[in-house]
Amino acid sequence: MRKRVFSGARPTARQHIGNLLGAINNYVKLQQEYDCIYCIVDIHALTTLQETDKIQGYINDLALDWLASGIDPQKSIVFIQSHVPEVTELHTYLSMVTPLSWLLRVPTFKEKAKAHPDNVNYGLVGYPVLMASDIVLYKAEAVPVGEDQLPHLELTREIARRFNALFGETFPEPEAKLTNFPLIPSLNSSGKMSKSEEGSAIDIANTAEETRARIMTAITDPARKLRKDKGHPEVCNIYTLHKYFTPSEVEEIGKECREAGIGCVDCKKLLAKNMNESLAAIREKRLKLAAKPDYIKELLNDGAARARVIARETIKEVKQKMGLL
């Protein structure tokens, strides 16, 4: 019996190369060893997404990015969260066993409430309960997470444990499948690549020309003002990206940079060429899939139908145990 893995992503923007090198490539690998369920969590997106008329476009983009990158709907269940309404039903049941104090201490809730004091909605407080429902509805045994997401998963485990203690063994406590997500730098700041920061990211769906243009305007070592100045590759985001896209030459690039043997323009051109070559097959597949919207829709409907078979069983069991049947 293969273990079941669950993971989800919010459809709030197109996926960028940081997402690809971190989460998506990991999803693709996990398919070899686990029964994977990958969910486009559109209800979660509503907690912060104000322009809901864009959500269908983002859902389509996320599905295309995943499928083009190698998530295989024959091996994994790929679906849209709201297409399996049992998740909201379970969310209600689990909210009855989750103390409010657990939710108010969640660091991301505190951060979001501070950042948007005028929009601290009930959904934002209950976000971890919905997340727990996503995972335990499918009785997932493992969840791929980065270190920063461990507190969220711990809360899911606590909620599952509490339900089991009150109503009898029902849910496995999902284990963290700790994943070392590489830190892919932003193109225009010292932070990590981000969908919300303008000019920071290169999307999987960008064309080769868009990729090149964005790389050519990216910041480099701020101390290297002239071609003859010696550089410091360790502080340069272009150099960090070479580690992923030009691995066999990265030592040489670092040496050349330090000795001013290579200029930033040539260094960036090399990165753009290698990045475009590495993404070419994914982009070509994405274009082909984008031309078949009915096929994508069918595929997501099929995923939801498969997910729903599991979800209905779990809800039946939960209702029985809670005395509702």
Return the range that interacts with ligand SF4 (CB under 6 A); candidates 82-90, 149-157, 257-265, 291-299.
257-265
Question: What residues have CB less than 8 Å from 204, skipping those under 6 apart?
Answer: 14, 15, 16, 17, 19, 20, 65, 68, 69, 279, 282, 283, 286
Q: Please give the DSSP secondary-structure letter assigned to residue 262.
A: S
Q: How far is the CB of 55 from ligand SF4 (least distance, A)?
A: 37
Stretch that binds ligand SF4, among 7-15, 106-114, 264-272, 316-324 (CB under 6 A): 264-272
Window 81-120: residues binding ligand SF4 (CB under 6 A): none
Long-range contacts of 121-124 (CB under 8 A, 24+ apart): 121/47, 123/46, 123/47, 124/47, 124/48
- State how far the Cα of 288 lies from the Cα of 282, in Å rounded to an integer: 10
Q: How far is the CB of 4 from ligand SF4 (least distance, A)?
A: 43
Name the active-site residue from 139, 195, 269, 285: 195
Q: Name the residue nearer to ligand SF4 (CB basis): 212 or 308.
A: 212
Q: Is residue 264 part of the contact set for ligand SF4 (CB under 6 A)?
A: yes
Based on the shown chain and the rule CB under 6 A, indicate whether residue 233 belongs to the binding site for ligand SF4: yes
Contact 104, 240 (CB under 8 A): no
Under rule CB under 6 A, residue 185 binds ligand SF4:
no
Give yes or no: 316 in active site: no
Query: Rule CB under 6 A: is residue 43 a binding residue for ligand SF4?
Result: no
Toward ligand SF4, which CB reaches closer, 126 or 233? 233
Q: Is 9 an interacting residue with respect to ligand SF4 (CB under 6 A)?
A: no
Distance CA(78)–CA(32), nearest Å, equals 15
Q: By three-state DSSP, how is residue 251 classified?
A: helix
As a whole number of angstroms, the distance between CA 290 and CA 67 comes to 10
Q: Tell me: does residue 220 bind ligand SF4 (CB under 6 A).
A: yes
State residue 145 phi and psi, 5-degree precision.
-140, 155
Is there binding between residue 221 and ligand SF4 (CB under 6 A)?
A: yes
Count residues near ligand SF4 (CB under 6 A): 13
As measured in angstroms, the least distance from the Cβ of 272 to ligand SF4 is: 11
Q: Give whichever of 36 and 257 is closer to ligand SF4, judged by the CB atom.
A: 257
Token code pair at residue 173: 């406590």
Q: Quote the CA–CA distance of 284 and 170 in Å, as a whole number.
A: 44
112 is catalytic: yes
DSSP string, 136-194: HHTT-SEEEE-GGGHHHHHHHHHHHHHHHHHH-S-S--PEEEE-----PBPSSSSSB--
Which residue in the set 267, 275, 289, 300 belongs to the binding site for ligand SF4 (CB under 6 A)? 267
Question: Counting contacts by CB under 6 A, is residue 241 touching ligand SF4?
Answer: no
Return residues touching ligand SF4 (CB under 6 A): 220-221, 224, 231, 233, 236, 238-239, 257, 262, 264, 267-268
What positions carry a catalytic annotation? 112, 192, 195
